[in-house]
Chain A
């Protein structure tokens, strides 16, 4: 079976459009990162410090009631979220000290909803010092892994390809953050894990395309740069899509069936895989073409 027959799409020619789209995504992503850095995004308590609890009630519970109950007990800044199956309630209190909030919340619910028993399914309390350390460590981790990837690609291919791959990878990372930021989803350690995984994985597609371009460049010295690049991308298009598709299928299974804890994580993976496929075709290669053209123009200008 074949999904795509022989294609002949002018990918490089569409670079103006693709660059505009990618620029917008990247800008949103950068805004997201700045907001995360300032702690203004929806930060998970592993970064901000605080308390988060998952409670399972015997009977359905109105969020508004839960909120007033907590307000009465002096907890003003609370983020409540309902999990549909099984009367579950997520309580998130940012920036609170370890050891107190959890007790207050339990006492308040016990008193106010005496006829609606609950169990604490999980509770996480993180002190602010840990959050700070984690935020620093995470920044170092992201920077280090991106640096490692850049160095490796620059070593394996030439410098212009290295830049193309790096920009594409950064683009994928920014895209995930942009989506999470716009949707107001929580930025936590699992998201960072997903982002780093995607950074490593999305290069697979880029490498497949680059390998073919390099091969064709060696074979064919006469054709125009655009033609060689376009042909190469078209030749490997079906495998670019299928490799992503298999991994996407697996992530989708996690997304739909894996449960609450890894829901956002697999969502980030799905975005990353989709965007990674797009960027290997529409971002990485056109950038290399752009750089090659500039180099060529300089040469003719000099001669």
Chain B
């Protein structure tokens, strides 16, 4: 064997063995029991365009989260000032990041200013000013705290969505944050995308509010501390939707964040599903107090500003269990239980991108992609064999090696194969023989100059080397840019392309060369089949 052949052959074989090792989890449906420890378990994932599924991009309305925080601050200030007997005219949120206070006297204003400074150090306090004879001041959340709050809202939304999806049961979901306020969710192979989207996108803010029976829903003026909400009900037989307006207190007695559990149960009497909820100790105490004080009155169960139902409190309810019933199918009850368990989103989310691919189309794409790939390989193989005879077969061998390495590398990285990714592989099949064509043409030229096969071979590889490097590097540059900027399918294309280009350099400069060296090393061959 010629010098320097041994290590090259070992390298080629080692890579081939590695490739097959990494490909095993992809190719074998069920791994044998002894396949454990250090052996690779990652496999090539199929992109959503190939296996079907849903890709969602959601935008978290972070401004709403900030507004929510300031509403809480306003309510909290009201309570604190009331407790301390500091009299005020009005406290309310007047902008997304601003709470305004209107007080009666300068003296209270000083006390309030001191109190706010102690209790809310993250807020900028304006000097007092006159507003229609009253003393007014505003507090504004500082920029950094506002950003923190928004950032936290996105993080919380992500966690909540992850919880909901986990409980909904989707295999291998991807939930990622993207940019400042976007969340990307991928649900491969999902059967009922519409239901999943509704489940994920729902804010699920649960509130219990007392009904104001003393105010008619049709009355023109509703006091500041009350609001008009609607109870929607669907007639089970006709499917007609009716809306009943009800006036409720603006302030909620109990909210959904005091829940510890929510489960679907079936009512034994009417065979109707309902959702059983459990409060934590604080929630249980509040619920006990509220029901005790309001026996005979109605309270409204409000979900995302819609009244779900408004039952009458028949007796004091202690123990912290309650139930939400009425108007459920088993699915809607199950979904409500999931969102209540997983918690409310800190702010509403809006779906800004929704790509759904049905499973049949995915299978169709795989079949067509693989079939056209096979035909592409065949065309190239036949062409090379005819045009370059035996040498062409060596190039074909290099190309096959190329494909095996590439698949192995994709498996090792746990990469996602998309339809454009398959296209990249097919393209690489064409490109992988290009390097050999450049080399072979050079060898033919050298042979025509009267060189021996071995001398021609060496000259061919030497002189073609730089050309091949140049052409590969330019392709690599574009692949890198595509990877950086592309999303989903395009990224898959870039991964396949850049891996392929690097592997191709190896197979064309080392893989095929060593084959020739093996046959021509003695320098005695008189003719070359090229």
The answer to whether A245 has its CB under 8 Å from any CB of chain B is yes
A153 lies within 8 A of B474 (CB): yes
Interface string of A249-267 (1 = CB under 8 A from B): 1111110111101100110
* Residue total for A at the interface (Cβ-Cβ under 8 A): 68
Which residues of B are found within 8 Å of A235, using beta-carbon distances?
Answer: 445
Which residues of B are found within 8 Å of A123, using beta-carbon distances?
Answer: 354-356
The answer to whether A220 has its CB under 8 Å from any CB of chain B is no
Q: Which of B49, B57, B389, B482 contacts A130 (CB 8 A)?
A: B57
Which residues of A are found within 8 Å of B423, using beta-carbon distances?
Answer: 254, 258, 262, 265-266
Which residues of A are found within 8 Å of B479, using beta-carbon distances?
Answer: 200
The answer to whether A239 has its CB under 8 Å from any CB of chain B is yes
Within the complex, what minimum Cβ distance (angstroms) separates B203 from chain A?
Answer: 15
CA separation between A127 and B371, bound complex, in Å?
35
21 cross-chain CB contacts under 8 A: A121-B361, A123-B356, A126-B352, A127-B350, A130-B352, A141-B486, A148-B477, A200-B476, A203-B474, A207-B467, A242-B441, A246-B383, A247-B431, A250-B376, A251-B426, A252-B379, A253-B426, A254-B372, A254-B373, A258-B369, A265-B423
Interface residues of B (CB under 8 A from A): 49, 57, 59, 350-358, 360-361, 364-365, 368-369, 371-373, 375-377, 379-380, 383-384, 386-389, 419-420, 423, 426-427, 429-431, 433-434, 437-438, 441, 445, 463, 466-467, 470-471, 473-482, 484-487, 489-490, 493, 497
Q: Which of B373, B379, B420, B476 contacts A265 (CB 8 A)?
A: B420
Which residues of B are found within 8 Å of A204, using beta-carbon distances?
Answer: 431, 434, 471, 474-475
A250 lies within 8 A of B426 (CB): yes
Of chain B, the residue at the smallest CB distance from A141 is B485
Identify the 6 closest CB pairs spanning chains A and B, nearest first: A247-B430, A127-B352, A253-B376, A250-B430, A200-B478, A259-B368
B387 lies within 8 A of A3 (CB): yes
A208 lies within 8 A of B474 (CB): no
Q: Which of A1, A134, A253 contacts B373 (CB 8 A)?
A: A253
Within the complex, what minimum Cβ distance (angstroms) separates B192 from chain A?
Answer: 12
**Consensus secondary structure, chain A interface:** helix
B427 lies within 8 A of A193 (CB): no
CA separation between A215 and B465, bound complex, in Å?
14
Q: Which of B49, B368, B429, B485 contacts A257 (CB 8 A)?
A: B368
Which residues of B are found within 8 Å of A215, using beta-carbon distances?
Answer: 463
CA separation between A246 and B431, bound complex, in Å?
7
CA separation between A237 and B441, bound complex, in Å?
10
Q: Which of B357, B379, B497 contacts A121 (CB 8 A)?
A: B357
A125 lies within 8 A of B353 (CB): yes
The answer to whether A124 has its CB under 8 Å from any CB of chain B is yes
Of chain A, the residue at the smallest CB distance from B359 is A121
The answer to whether A289 has its CB under 8 Å from any CB of chain B is no
A243 lies within 8 A of B434 (CB): yes
Within the complex, what minimum Cβ distance (angstroms) separates A255 from chain B?
Answer: 8
B355 lies within 8 A of A124 (CB): yes
The answer to whether A87 has its CB under 8 Å from any CB of chain B is no
B473 lies within 8 A of A257 (CB): no
Q: Identify the interface centre among A122, A129, A236: most chain B CB within 10 Å of its CB.
A: A122
Within the complex, what minimum Cβ distance (angstroms) separates B378 from chain A?
Answer: 8
Within the complex, what minimum Cβ distance (angstroms) separates B373 from chain A?
Answer: 7
CA separation between A235 and B427, bound complex, in Å?
26
B477 lies within 8 A of A98 (CB): no
A208 lies within 8 A of B467 (CB): yes
A242 lies within 8 A of B387 (CB): yes
Which residues of A are found within 8 Å of B375, using beta-carbon distances?
Answer: 253, 257
The answer to whether A113 has its CB under 8 Å from any CB of chain B is no
A211 lies within 8 A of B466 (CB): yes
